[in-house]
Structure 1
Amino acid sequence: MKIKVKNLGTLEQAEFILGDLTIICGCNNTGKTYATYALFGFLFTWSKLFLIKIDDKKIEELLSDGVIRLDLQEYVNQVDHIVTQGCIAYTQELPKIFAASTERFRESKFQVELDSQNIVLSKRFKSEIGSGEVSFFSITKSEESTELVVTLLVEKEKVKIPVKIIERIITDALKEIIFDPLFPRPFIASSERTGAAIFRKDLNFDRNRLIEEISQAGQNIDRIELLLKDYGDYALPIKTNVDFIRQLESIVKKSSFIADKYPDVLADFADIIGGEYAVTRNDELYYQPKGRRIKLSMDESSSAVRSLLDIGFYLRHEAQLGDLLIIDEPELNLHPENQRRVARLFARLVNLGIKVFMTTHSDYIIKELNTLIMLNHEKPHLKRIAKQEGYRQEELISTENIKVYIAEVADIKLEGKKRKTKCQTLTAADIDPEFGIEARSFDTTIETMNRIQEAIVWGQD
């Protein structure tokens, strides 16, 4: 999946391909967060924005004959058009995604390109729609078939569902079959996560705003207006992140595939934070350091413990195969050693089937990923080094799984122009199987520091 953006924040024109591990590096205020938030917003909302039209005659046939068969290939042939129109609709939603003025995104463009020629329809699907104990419809598809079968399970005279609702139910099934395998389910850990961990019970945006409105309005309250009003105070990724933290009491009742099948991953994470998180029945969140009989609240815990809170609960309770874990600056508040360990954790997740997307300023994370790339070869001395240094095969990663981009000013040919122009963009970094990622965003700073220090030590006359 390729994402193209134009006039998005500081990014004048840029594109990037979503890999199993995708990294955006670069200086501050170069567009990394804009690209990240735009990607998350699209993956979070695409299903609401994609429009699939069902022929009215098919609905009439369903209500008269009790069954219809839809050729899925007919809808696959429309994928490019559906995605294009969906992206146009999403671009218009960018002000809401970023909780910013419409004017800021007036010239923006967000576009997704898919390999629509290689869409696989092997997914099995089965769903029944009804009310209470009564089922009205069944929608099924076998693994081998390219047909979607919709069956009316009650007499048509008893069906009171509006035609528009019936069409919506069928299109939702089509979206799940065709697009779900193409668009990963996103989970985001925004850079505001440390504060959210401390103030999670206070960060009920809707309640706080409602209280504020009521206190200001006094007796002159239009209740309907209050309920329908869209405040848009916070960007969607931040809202989603805060909502996750606020719902931990219900989230802990679930178990992820990682907790069920790969408990060693959770053990590695516990080693990184030096303990474990827990939520009581009274919705009290605390951290228990390993080997100590104390329980610390979040404001008593270290900033590193707070920074990794949502990732920890995601891994234990929410993670699903095929997810996209998005982390804005995973190095926040982490010691260099833990930055290295987080890089190894992410590589392990990629190998387990979770995609990872991150922005980073951390040279330690990039260098550790380079080590994992360089060790991933069938050479005796590399296997010896991996064993000596405690690296496991399941942590090593291939360059084929990684996409790295540098947010920087570069010469590119703008859309509709013949000559190249210097502008803020994303430049694909070189990744070599033998030497790893060329992250010149960091290299320039490190080389400058080394030059200055060499001059200090050796520059005396």
Structure 2
Amino acid sequence: MNKRWTLHVENFAKIKSADVTIAPLMCFVGDNNSGKSYLMSILWGILTLGKDIFPKKPSEAKIYKQCERWLQAHINEEIELVASDMELYINWFNELLNTHKKSLVKQIFNYDVDIERVKIINYKRNKPIKITWEEAGSRYSVTSNYIKFPKVDLPNRDELLRMNAYICWNLLMEGIAAPLYTPVVKGRRNGEPIYLPASRTGFMLTYSQLIENSLQISFSPELHENKSTLTLPYIDFLQLITKFENNKKKNKYGKLIEYIEKNMTRGNLSVEKELLPIIKYQPEGSTKEIPLYIASSIVSEISPLLLILKSNINFKAIVIEEPEAHLHPELQQKVARLIINMMHCGIPVWITTHSDTILQHINNMLKLKKHVRSRELQEEYGYTKEDLLSDEEIQMYQFITESNKTRLIPLEITKYGFVVPTFNNALEKIVEEVYAFQED
């Protein structure tokens, strides 16, 4: 990730305040009903729907006109953006977020959830970025190093708005969300982040009955009324299932797929494309395929992630609620290893978790990375550099409940890794009971 920024919310649902700095790997821990899914959903929602809040016509708002004047002054001039330049665009996006926050939250949650404040703060870049101009160009383009436009003489205000929105969106979302102006092709995702809800196993087993209604709901600049009884992340997940297929093309996630099938599902998942996809499981060593609904819980639990990777679906980031669900501790460690490897494939992975096993594996990989005998220990325990974690690659947050409201606190990395009070307090209480209930 070439950028970092912090999502700041206040008085959102039961969350009094929260500051979440995005990172390649991000973990939310905390008690049940503390707001983890709410906060992850609004973060996902801004990445997914945020491009729809840009105005359709040039604005007379003071903040936008500052962006317009800045761009006019640099038309056809190659320029590296400095902090004050980028701040103009972050301020504009925050004004748009503030204007649309209630309708945005209503669309995400299918309910009028309270929210007092939402904005992006503390924007920083790891690498500089330039605005460049192409003599014979016809399209806008972006990389981590530049935003490129065709050269233009005396652009009108509509053209300036289009370019300004492109600059603003890519400063914030390049590499983690779908492009701003990619043509919409029915049935194809353009890089939108994926949200795997905690109840994904139930959805995988009942999707054929649920999809018909969700297919009628799609993302668009107009805020369509959601007539279902599901939140938008759930609807998006159901729509995602319809895109599962047996993709015969070379797959960039081949190693991840092999790891899952060898170490977790212990067998192959395939898809027959009819009106709706029919998913079948072939256990390792068997020639017979069986329906997903009679496979073990580990297969149905991990099937969405495996089929996303096998289908070559285009996505830039993934949210996974409770990746440990239905998994034995040994498999929880393997899913933690998988998550780190996904991150090293360039996929930001953001999770909510109650698993002490996942936390311990993360801590082990942080310690192994810095260990004086790291190479020797990697070889002894079967790890590679893709399994290791650096301090700067991860952010971990704990939700603290106080007087029926929660706030978010960032957890610091110690020499032992992350110390998570919500886990430690529960474990200490159990250990105390173990000693208390032992007979002399």
Length-normalised TM-score, structure 1: 0.74
User: What's 1:244 paired with?
Assistant: 240
Pairwise CA distance, 1:144? 8.5
User: What's 1:328 paired with?
Assistant: 321
1:168–1:303 Cα change, 3 Å: farther
Deviates more, 1:76-85 or 1:440-449: 76-85
Pairwise CA distance, 1:140? 6.5
Pairwise CA distance, 1:180? 3.5
Which ranges of structure 2 fall in alignment gaps of 5 or more residues?
A: 61-74, 178-191, 218-223
Alignment counterpart, residue 14 of structure 1, candidates 15, 18, 22 = 18
How is 1:54-453 mapped onto 2 (pairs within 5 angstroms)? 69=76, 76=86, 78-92=88-102, 93-100=104-111, 102=112, 104-105=113-114, 107-115=115-123, 120-122=128-130, 138-139=139-140, 148-149=149-150, 170=163, 173-175=166-168, 177-181=170-174, 183-184=176-177, 185-206=192-213, 230-249=226-245, 252-253=246-247, 259-260=251-252, 263-270=254-261, 271-282=263-274, 283-318=277-312, 323-380=316-373, 382-409=374-401, 423-432=405-414, 434-453=415-434
Deviates more, 1:393-402 or 1:277-286: 277-286
Pairwise CA distance, 1:25? 0.6
CA distance in 1: counterparts of 2:427 and 2:437, whole angstroms: 15
Contact 1:21/1:356 (<8 A) preserved? yes
2:407 counterpart letter in structure 1: T
| 3-state secondary structure, aligned to 1:78 | helix
CA distance in 2: counterparts of 1:310 and 1:171, whole angstroms: 37
User: What's 2:46 paired with?
Assistant: 42
| 3-state secondary structure, aligned to 1:427 | strand
Alignment counterpart, residue 23 of structure 1, candidates 11, 17, 27 = 27
Pairwise CA distance, 1:31? 0.8
- Residues 137-194 of structure 1: CA distance to partner in whole angstroms, max 9, x if unpaired? 6556899977632569xxxxxxxxxx99867755564455444327545211111211
- Residues 121-142 of structure 1: CA distance to partner in whole angstroms, max 9, x if unpaired? 358899x99xxxxxxx655689
User: What's 1:59 paired with?
Assistant: none
Contact 1:47/1:175 (<8 A) preserved? no
1:243 counterpart letter in structure 2: Q
Contact 2:320/2:351 (<8 A) preserved? yes
| 3-state secondary structure, aligned to 1:291 | coil
Contact 2:78/2:133 (<8 A) preserved? no
CA distance in 2: counterparts of 1:89 and 1:171, whole angstroms: 18
- Residues 33-80 of structure 1: CA distance to partner in whole angstroms, max 9, x if unpaired? 111111111110111113487699xxxxxxxxxxx8488869745312
Pairwise CA distance, 1:202? 1.9
Structure number with bigger Rg: 1
CA distance in 1: counterparts of 2:54 and 2:288, whole angstroms: 50
- Residues 316-368 of structure 1: CA distance to partner in whole angstroms, max 9, x if unpaired? 334668x2211011011111111000101111122222111000011111111
1:274 counterpart letter in structure 2: R
How many percent of aligned residue pairs carry the same amino acid?
20
1:199–1:367 Cα change, 3 Å: same
Length-normalised TM-score, structure 2: 0.78
CA distance in 1: counterparts of 2:92 and 2:248, whole angstroms: 34
- Residues 4-28 of structure 1: CA distance to partner in whole angstroms, max 9, x if unpaired? 1122222111212111111011111
2:259 counterpart letter in structure 1: D
Q: Tell me the C-alpha RMSD between the 2 structures.
A: 3.6
Structure with the higher helix share, 1 or 2: 1
Pairwise CA distance, 1:314? 2.2
CA distance in 1: counterparts of 2:105 and 2:293, whole angstroms: 34
Pairwise CA distance, 1:241? 0.7
- Residues 189-218 of structure 1: CA distance to partner in whole angstroms, max 9, x if unpaired? 1112112211222222537989xxxxxxxx
CA distance in 2: counterparts of 1:367 and 1:233, whole angstroms: 37
Which ranges of structure 1 fall in alignment gaps of 5 or more residues?
A: 57-67, 130-136, 153-162, 211-227, 411-420
